[in-house]
A and B are shown apart, each in its own frame.
Chain A
Amino acid sequence: NAGVTQTPKFQVLKTGQSMTLQCAQDMNHNSMYWYRQDPGMGLRLIYYSASEGTTDKGEVPNGYNVSRLNKREFSLRLESAAPSQTSVYFCASTLDHVAGTGELFFGEGSRLTVL
Chain B
Amino acid sequence: AQSVAQPEDQVNVAEGNPLTVKCTYSVSGNPYLFWYVQYPNRGLQFLLKYITGDNLVKGSYGFEAEFNKSQTSFHLKKPSALVSDSALYFCAVRDYSNTGKLIFGQGTTLQVKP
Contact with B along A33-75 (1 / 0, CB 8 A): 1010000111111001010000010100000000000000000
B101 within 8 A of A: yes
Q: Which of B32, B42, B99 is packed against the most chain A CB atoms within 10 Å? A: B99
Contacts of B94 in A (CB 8 A): 102
Interface positions of B (Cβ within 8 A of A) = 9, 32, 34, 36, 41-46, 49, 51, 90, 94, 98-102, 104-107
Contacts of A41 in B (CB 8 A): 106
Contact with B along A19-39 (1 / 0, CB 8 A): 000000000000101010000
In the assembled complex, the Cα of A58 lies from the Cα of B100 at a distance in Å of: 12
Interface positions of A (Cβ within 8 A of B) = 4, 31, 33, 35, 40-45, 48, 50, 56, 58, 90, 92, 94, 96-98, 100-109
In the assembled complex, the Cα of A60 lies from the Cα of B9 at a distance in Å of: 23
Q: State whether B107 touches A42 (Cβ < 8 A).
A: yes
Given contacts A41-B106, A42-B106, A43-B90, contact A33 B101 (CB under 8 A): yes
Given contacts A45-B101, A58-B101, A94-B100, contact A101 B32 (CB under 8 A): yes
Given contacts A40-B106, A43-B104, A56-B99, contact A103 B46 (CB under 8 A): yes
22 A-B pairs in the complex with CB atoms less than 8 angstroms apart: A4-B43, A31-B99, A31-B100, A40-B106, A42-B104, A42-B106, A43-B44, A48-B101, A50-B99, A90-B44, A92-B44, A94-B100, A98-B98, A102-B32, A102-B34, A103-B46, A103-B49, A104-B100, A105-B46, A106-B45, A107-B43, A109-B42
Contacts of B46 in A (CB 8 A): 103-105
Q: State whether B100 touches A102 (Cβ < 8 A).
A: yes
